[in-house]
Structure 1
Amino acid sequence: MVVLQKTSMDRKENQRLCTIQKDWGPLINCKPVLTPDSKHLLAASGCSIKVFSTASGSLIQEFIGHRHKVIGIGQHGSLYITCDAKGEMRTWSSEKQECLEKIKLLEESSQDTERVVAFQIMKEFQQVLLLVRKSSKKKCRLMKFSRPFGKGSPMVLAQDVQLGQGKMGASHTGDSIAYLTEDSLSIIAAGKGVFRHMAGRRPFTCLVWNPQQEMLATGDITGRIVLWYNLANKVPAQTILHWHTLPVEDLAFSVLGNELFSGGGECVLVKWLLPEDRRHYLPRLGMPIKTITTDTSNSLVITGHTDNAFTVIASKTNKLQGYIQDLNINLESTESFPAGIVFDPKTGAIVLNGRTGHIQLYDIHHNKQLYHLDITQTNYITRERHQVIYNTQVIRMAMSPDGLWLATIEYRDDFQTSIEQRVKFWHYSIVDQNWYLDTSVEMPHDKSINGIVFNPSTGAKSSPECVTCSDDGKFKIWEIIKDVNIYRKSDFWSCRRVGFYRHLPATAVNMSHDGSLIAAGFANILTLWLPQSCHLKGTLSQPYLKEHIKQIEFGRGEGCGSLLVTRTDSWICSWDLFTCTLSWRVGLQSTCMAADPRSSHMAVFTKDCCVFIFEPKSSEPICWKRNVNPAKVTCAAFIPRQTRHDSEEEWNVHSNLVFIDKDQTLRVLEERSNELSVDGKAMEIVKHFEQETLMKPAATPFAALVAQTRTSHAGKEKSGQKGSAAFGVQVENSMSFIQKMMNDARVYRMEAFASMTASYCNLLIPAAVTSEEKQEQQMREEQIRQSEMQRKKTKKLAKKKKKDLERVPNADFSELLEMLS
């Protein structure tokens, strides 16, 4: 038994480990912007700005350059203005797709303690409003910057503004500025001073200005909407609109100002026709509304929802037109993605929690959601003003090795009535490429289920098996039963065997890779069972290991096949199943653990955001890294790669280490191959891609056509190869290349993505259309290079042989002579 010491940890720390954020952050943290033609939507996602098509919902392009979280997007003609949390404002051209100008609004000395919360441009981009928050305060300062930006001190308008988006705004003329405090609405009128209107018992939640007149609309926590007129008077005129029962989250006027859109926790978009004093409703939009955006042509309305999705709605007909979806997040659960991360072998995607009651398949290689599946098949129950509403959640899931069976556990407990719990088995139809519910079992256990796993050795010919464990002190083995009666033949899942031990809660379960053994954790005791007979084979425990077992993983590979690793809150233990002893233990305050299905490596994340890569046969980590993530990691998994990755570390070659933190951010742990500069890294990737292009077959007719104009590098075949793969420019490889550059841009924080694209064009496109004379010249240069390499190699071998011959006379052969004698 070995406990890691600090000296060995410092020696093993790998400084080249880095994280790549796959989803780039939620899309709904700030209000998006529609282009003038309403064909594209710009949304802030972490440090980038994503451009989506409103017709298809697909990602068109990304504006990359900010080093910090983008908190606001504005529009001025054909230019887009963005601002990040550090106060850096950038101007982007939609035509050239590049950054034209960047300005730092906040001073360097204040950037460490202040964060920008909201941003708005006013007076034809002559002035800018910022809400700035100090790290230790819950209130914001309202600051106004005037041209030339970045020069001169800003004007501080207020010191006690509410924290968040939609708390301040300027009128269409720029003469009036409104902002919300905890107990009032304040309006700054040019040349007339500040007018404050108290909120009383109805604190305000959001505000918006009418784009055509000096009229202001505010929402409050009771669901009221107040329209304010004659704002220069001490007692302005008011009109009250009330339909919402929950707080109004956001408001938006149409371009003409005669229509007002409102939304909140009811999942209903309300359209107020102000001149006619009527309203229309669009209900059942899925999840609570957080943002509302209208366009300049009065054709579309975009609603942003708490599950990180946008709904495209036709403004005139009030009908749904489409969805824009990124990685789903779940704000209803206290634990982010409680079902963990599961690998789908059919699509190569990961399966994880989606919106409430759903699961989603997310492609980490292309950073997009494939589809989501409704597990609970129930309507989302909206919140109430004075009562907490509990919806049914998916808390556990597992997938069979062939990807044809999916098992889910759904759970609901309102702490007033009996709990609702069911296990569902879903079968994938290869014919219509869809999931279908096969079996639903009500209350499979009396208490909450802690784990579910399929038999990893189940093949196409054998029947699949599934094991569940629960706090009721039992683990159950589920199998498919064939039911034959006079009416029909049917198959369904049923519990065939049950195991229990000392009436202790079953906290974790897993099966060996060959399916011959079940390992179940009963409190702090590790038990081993035969799945065929549910016979107890042995128990493993130590008197000082008193914490409940949270995870169990069987070892793989050479030297690890007989080992089993368990995780508790404070210990990582490796058990030898041959000798039934504890091999080693390490004291770690861990949060989750993952095992690589393609190697013997495992990873464990600690509460202080450290990651350790190790093998079950040794307590010494292969490598580790501190502060790998800003938030605590809640679940992790090794996901097999589509192609082999060039890495010096063996654990990073065949699989990606994917993890999710408590902020519901999806990241991948990678290792930098070297410490090249940004330009050097880009050039290296471009050259590597060029070499791969010359070796792979042409994937398109255009590639084959280009290949016909080229000649082979081989001297014997001077004629061009029709359809040859030698010089085809491949669309599929180009997309993978661009995606790889995107990921590297996230790691190295590239500021000039256009320069990478230019390098790609300069190196690849001319190489595909070079003339025959240039190819012959390249061929001669290659022959010269090969001959030079051969000459150096021969010289090196001759020099080595000479050294070996010189070493022979000085050698001592006394031992050899004694043996011969």
Structure 2
Amino acid sequence: MVVKIQKSNEETTYNFTRKAGRSIIEHRPVFSPDGESLVVIVEKIARVYNVQTGDCVRVLETETNIDELIGICFDKEGFNVYGCSRDGLLITWTWEKGAVLREFKLPNLRKRQVCTFDLIDSERCLITSVNVYGGPTQIFLGSFSLKTNLQSPMEFTSQQIPFFGIVRVSLGWCNGEHYAAIINGSKFVYIQHMAKPHIHAFHSNYNEFRVLDVSCHQHQSAVAIVDTLGRATIVRGDLFNYKAVAREVLHWHHLPAFAVKFSTQGSYLITGGMEKVLVKWTIGNLADKANQKEFIPRLPGLIKFVAVSNSHIAVTLSNNSIVIANAQMRVHCTILECGGLSAAARAGAALLYHRRTACLLMGGRPGHLQLYSTASDKVLCNLDITDTNSIPTESKHDLIPLETEVTCAATSGDGNWLVTSEYRNDGVTYPEEKLKFWVSQLSKGAVPFTLVTCVNLSHGGCNVVAISLNTLGTFCVTAGTDQKFRIWKQDKATRQKREWSCLTACYYSSGVAQFQSNSIFNDIKKFNISSFTSGPEVLPYMKEVGRRGDLILRLMNIHKEAAVGRPIVSANADPENEMGGVAISQDGSLIAAWFGCKLTLWDTHLCNLRTTLSHPALRPKGVHVQFGIADAAHYLVCTTENCLAVFSLLSLTVKWLVNIKPTCLVSDPFSNKMAVVTTQNDVFVFTPHSSTPILRQNGLVDPRSGVINICTFAKAVKKNDVLLYFMRNNSEIYCLEPERTTDDRLEVISSKNVPTSNFSALLAEQQLSEVRPLQAAELHELNNVALGNNAIKQFLSAAPHMVPPVNLISTAFLEHISGQETTEEPEETEAAMEVDPQSSDDEEEVVSNGADETKTQLWTANYDEVNEKKLRRILKLPVLHKDAAASIFGVKSN
């Protein structure tokens, strides 16, 4: 419950908060016992989502500050929820209310970090941990009691399991006893008895391929594993004896499979991997449907984890989303969070504020832009920019996916136009490069933009590095790695469809950089066709473990990849004239473009070079450039790797310069404010007029955990306030906003006033009603005299020019305000009244005089007198002769 508090006249303070971009795919999700909810670990908390709608219904939080949750489990009865943090804090929640019952630190961890957490039964849990502070990289297994933290844990030290960066654990039953199956990314599957530490075993995968995930059958003695070859193998029998088991191999996946899970009853097996296809295998006693497969194809990301219930399947994908499907393999819900950028998209991540929808446009899944609502904290839609199918690689040599990505985007100031560029270069075929123009269509459908113009090879196959649009969206400039910038303009010849066309291309050097930037433009393509008769090719990542830069670990953490998988750099590139940022002036007459360390100014209409601005501090090359807005339109602000400089367009000289290391520069399209962010995550909001910042925030976040690489202005509630959104690590969204004023800030009521029942929770602390009890003072009649006096005061207090003419005012009202009193005439009766003979005659005379008295008129218009006054005023003018004027108008002059 909240209440408003009064407004105070304090200075504006700013808050820096994290809005979105949290990872929801780091750990396997868990279904509730009833199957109606899905619990997802999100860093330090656990969110509970409704399976049918995909909405977050509540959050499970801890009372003690932790670094990260690593596991969530339900007890057998489903009354409590257990979780464990990476530093070994065990938390117990009630499932119905989400209240914390108990928190205690697990003993004897010896400075180890917890990797996995699983419940053995209602009294014990299994913890795996690794020593990250030095010493042997070995996986330690321990069983801890849930009832008390005084009991010493049971450690399983008889089996040595090395650590290679991957740990997966699954619990099952064998011969009526609990066991745990552990894999570490090698070719072995380790089996450990839960009650007897000395009983253990291990099984080796066929052909020594690395095992990537494991799942135990809940009713039979069986284990399912998936490997780097794409096979799913089911091991049945006495798992504690490697000679008493049988294997069944299911092979559909061509690339490595990362997830495997038995169904609740064990009649089906669900697998998934790099093909972005979920496969449901029919196994067990269903002889009529043996080896039958069902698919969910074209998922938007690599499959990382799979969770099952009696009626649903939850699939965790690498694009930071969770897809929920029913038992019939039909997707009906998606839990989506900001982030999930691919490796190629991170190189040119975009963050734009769309004013028409009040949402943020940012990169998302491959080939898409996300529309994120800052008000509802949800991703409204995914805008498909490339409109291409996601096809996995056919070669096993390089598994890092390389798809057509959105490398650059820009919107107009009014939000009507969106311009995007997409690029793909695999180093073998000719590069794919397109420039697309989108128009806003909020009133026509759910998709906010529609494609108007698509330009193939707009820069000859070279990647676009910068895009700039004017405020009205009628003029566009794009810069590419071909060391040219091109000017685009709308063609309004047709009313129904506004198309864009290129006016010209401008360059500073010889203009042949597109043939020198990369040898792929001139090389003859040669394809290596492998023989179909040869056996399967064995690559190092399939069998070898512990390699530096392990490809399997990179694929499992592809959502954290910080660079393009296959960067292609030519030795012939010329950094002296390398293109940087471009900008258009407010009036559209000038274009500013970086060519290496030279900042050039071009005429928009003539498309010729006007001047070149240079300074020793601008070396080695420029990065960003922005024109001033409003009263700062005669300034040009630019950044390099080591400084921020402001040029005056009137004198073509540097007005002021600051030695900082900026990462991004952005301007507000509707004010003269600009913002710059440094490598130390310092934010400065300034105007080009002065080097003294308007707003300064130092060290918003620790730069060791990530640097803010892009920001954008948003529309603030008040005109002079600043509202900035930042992107860190290419997925985390932060906001620098004014602290809510006391006029609209909501204050949480203390716990003393918390309602004691569900009904009282709907009632406010203070209640007002328009129905009041009957009071004696309200029974009296209205005082007409008081009301009349109030109306007269309002009438007399008005300005003279607002008062109506006197001849239009009621005579009775004029008599009332003049103070004249009138007597009421006596009512006429049918019969004459009898007169007392003893009465006095004076009373009759007084009554008759009062009734027969005539009313005096307050004011009468005398037009003759007014006309005479006007004529006398005219006579005083020296225009006519005095006697002539008197004879003409018939007035005697004095």
The yes-or-no answer on 1:30 pairing with 2:27 is: yes
Is the partner of 2:379 in helix, strand or coil?
strand
Q: 2:182 aligns with which of 179, 185, 198?
A: 179
State whether residues 103 and 149 of structure 1, in contact with CA within 8 Å, keep that contact through their aligned partners in structure 2: no
Q: What is the CA-CA distance between 1:579 and the residue it aligns to?
A: 1.7
The yes-or-no answer on 1:654 pairing with 2:663 is: no
1:319: which partner in 2? 330
The yes-or-no answer on 1:638 pairing with 2:723 is: no
The aligned runs of 1:61-80 (5 Å cut-off) are 61-65=58-62, 67-76=66-75, 77-80=78-81
Q: 2:235 aligns with which of 228, 231, 240?
A: 228
1:568: which partner in 2? 640
Q: What is the CA-CA distance between 1:246 and the residue it aligns to?
A: 1.8
Provide the C-alpha distance between the structure 2 equivalents of 1:471 and 1:361, rounded to a whole number of angstroms. 28
The aligned runs of 1:151-300 (5 Å cut-off) are 151-157=150-156, 160-162=161-163, 167-172=168-173, 175-181=178-184, 182-189=186-193, 190-191=195-196, 193-199=199-205, 201-229=208-236, 230-235=238-243, 236-275=245-284, 276=287, 277-282=290-295, 283-295=297-309, 298-300=310-312
Equivalent residue letter for 2:85: D
2:701: which partner in 1? 628
Q: What is the CA-CA distance between 1:491 and the residue it aligns to?
A: 3.5
State whether residues 122 and 129 of structure 1, in contact with CA within 8 Å, keep that contact through their aligned partners in structure 2: no
State whether residues 408 and 424 of structure 1, in contact with CA within 8 Å, keep that contact through their aligned partners in structure 2: yes
Partner deviation per Cα, 1:677-720 (whole Å, 9 max, x = no partner) = xxxxxxxx9xx5xx659xxxxxxxxxxxxxxxxxxxxxxxxxxx
Larger displacement relative to structure 2 (583-592 or 354-363): 583-592
What is the percentage of aligned positions where both structures have the same residue? Answer: 28
The yes-or-no answer on 1:667 pairing with 2:730 is: no
Q: What is the CA-CA distance between 1:60 and the residue it aligns to?
A: 2.0
State whether residues 47 and 59 of structure 2, in contact with CA within 8 Å, keep that contact through their aligned partners in structure 1: yes
1:591: which partner in 2? 663
Equivalent residue letter for 1:26: S
2:504: which partner in 1? 497
Is the partner of 2:622 in helix, strand or coil?
coil
Q: What is the CA-CA distance between 1:214 and the residue it aligns to?
A: 2.4
Is the partner of 2:705 in helix, strand or coil?
coil
Q: What is the CA-CA distance between 1:163 and the residue it aligns to?
A: 5.8
Q: 1:607 aligns with which of 645, 666, 679?
A: 679
Specify whether residues 24 and 105 from structure 1 end up closer, same or farther in structure 2 by C-alpha distance, changes over 3 A only: farther
State whether residues 202 and 221 of structure 1, in contact with CA within 8 Å, keep that contact through their aligned partners in structure 2: yes
The yes-or-no answer on 1:538 pairing with 2:611 is: yes
Is the partner of 1:423 in helix, strand or coil?
strand
Specify whether residues 240 and 582 from structure 1 end up closer, same or farther in structure 2 by C-alpha distance, changes over 3 A only: same
The yes-or-no answer on 1:436 pairing with 2:446 is: no
Partner deviation per Cα, 1:346-380 (whole Å, 9 max, x = no partner) = 11110011100111101123321011111111111
State whether residues 580 and 594 of structure 2, in contact with CA within 8 Å, keep that contact through their aligned partners in structure 1: yes
The yes-or-no answer on 1:580 pairing with 2:652 is: yes
State whether residues 361 and 369 of structure 2, in contact with CA within 8 Å, keep that contact through their aligned partners in structure 1: yes
Equivalent residue letter for 2:67: H
2:857: which partner in 1? none
The Cα RMSD (Å) is 3.4
Q: What is the CA-CA distance between 1:249 and the residue it aligns to?
A: 0.9
Provide the C-alpha distance between the structure 2 equivalents of 1:754 and 1:247, rounded to a whole number of angstroms. 53
Q: What is the CA-CA distance between 1:68 and the residue it aligns to?
A: 2.5
Q: What is the CA-CA distance between 1:773 and the residue it aligns to?
A: 11
State whether residues 21 and 339 of structure 2, in contact with CA within 8 Å, keep that contact through their aligned partners in structure 1: no
Equivalent residue letter for 1:252: K
Is the partner of 1:550 in helix, strand or coil?
strand
The aligned runs of 1:369-448 (5 Å cut-off) are 369-383=379-393, 384-388=395-399, 389-433=401-445, 434=447, 435-446=449-460, 447-448=462-463
Q: What is the CA-CA distance between 1:150 and the residue it aligns to?
A: 3.3
Specify whether residues 624 and 770 from structure 1 end up closer, same or farther in structure 2 by C-alpha distance, changes over 3 A only: closer
State whether residues 24 and 47 of structure 1, in contact with CA within 8 Å, keep that contact through their aligned partners in structure 2: no
Equivalent residue letter for 1:441: V
Provide the C-alpha distance between the structure 2 equivalents of 1:24 and 1:83, rounded to a whole number of angstroms. 23
State whether residues 253 and 261 of structure 1, in contact with CA within 8 Å, keep that contact through their aligned partners in structure 2: yes
State whether residues 468 and 475 of structure 1, in contact with CA within 8 Å, keep that contact through their aligned partners in structure 2: yes
In our comparison, the structure showing a higher alpha carbon Rg is: 2
Specify whether residues 608 and 278 from structure 1 end up closer, same or farther in structure 2 by C-alpha distance, changes over 3 A only: same
Provide the C-alpha distance between the structure 2 equivalents of 1:390 and 1:379, rounded to a whole number of angstroms. 13
Equivalent residue letter for 2:601: L
Q: What is the CA-CA distance between 1:427 and the residue it aligns to?
A: 1.8
Q: What is the CA-CA distance between 1:455 and the residue it aligns to?
A: 0.7
State whether residues 64 and 753 of structure 1, in contact with CA within 8 Å, keep that contact through their aligned partners in structure 2: no
Equivalent residue letter for 1:144: S
TM-score of the two chains, using structure 2 as the length reference: 0.69
Partner deviation per Cα, 1:191-238 (whole Å, 9 max, x = no partner) = 352212344631111111111122211111111222222112132332
Q: 1:120 aligns with which of 88, 109, 118?
A: 118
2:468: which partner in 1? 453
Consecutive aligned runs of 4 or more in structure 1 exceeding 6 Å deviation: 752-764, 771-776
- Which residues of structure 2 form unaligned runs of 5+? 1-12, 511-576, 775-894
State whether residues 452 and 469 of structure 1, in contact with CA within 8 Å, keep that contact through their aligned partners in structure 2: yes
Provide the C-alpha distance between the structure 2 equivalents of 1:775 and 1:509, rounded to a whole number of angstroms. 72
Q: What is the CA-CA distance between 1:669 and the residue it aligns to?
A: 3.6
Q: What is the CA-CA distance between 1:132 and the residue it aligns to?
A: 4.0
Is the partner of 1:130 in helix, strand or coil?
strand
Q: What is the CA-CA distance between 1:106 and the residue it aligns to?
A: 5.7
Provide the C-alpha distance between the structure 2 equivalents of 1:643 and 1:259, rounded to a whole number of angstroms. 55
Specify whether residues 34 and 643 from structure 1 end up closer, same or farther in structure 2 by C-alpha distance, changes over 3 A only: farther
Provide the C-alpha distance between the structure 1 equivalents of 2:322 and 2:239, rounded to a whole number of angstroms. 34
2:351: which partner in 1? 341
TM-score of the two chains, using structure 1 as the length reference: 0.75
Is the partner of 2:764 in helix, strand or coil?
helix
Specify whether residues 107 and 634 from structure 1 end up closer, same or farther in structure 2 by C-alpha distance, changes over 3 A only: same
1:87: which partner in 2? 88
Is the partner of 2:389 in helix, strand or coil?
coil
State whether residues 396 and 451 of structure 1, in contact with CA within 8 Å, keep that contact through their aligned partners in structure 2: yes
The yes-or-no answer on 1:357 pairing with 2:370 is: no
Q: What is the CA-CA distance between 1:500 and the residue it aligns to?
A: 2.1
Provide the C-alpha distance between the structure 1 equivalents of 2:338 and 2:428, rounded to a whole number of angstroms. 33
2:54: which partner in 1? 57
Is the partner of 2:24 in helix, strand or coil?
coil
- Which residues of structure 1 form unaligned runs of 5+? 1-15, 674-684, 694-736, 742-751, 777-821
Specify whether residues 35 and 522 from structure 1 end up closer, same or farther in structure 2 by C-alpha distance, changes over 3 A only: same
Is the partner of 1:234 in helix, strand or coil?
coil
Provide the C-alpha distance between the structure 2 equivalents of 1:590 and 1:407, rounded to a whole number of angstroms. 25
Number of positions where the alignment pairs a residue of Structure 1 with one of Structure 2: 669
Equivalent residue letter for 2:725: V
Specify whether residues 32 and 557 from structure 1 end up closer, same or farther in structure 2 by C-alpha distance, changes over 3 A only: same
Provide the C-alpha distance between the structure 2 equivalents of 1:157 and 1:753, rounded to a whole number of angstroms. 49
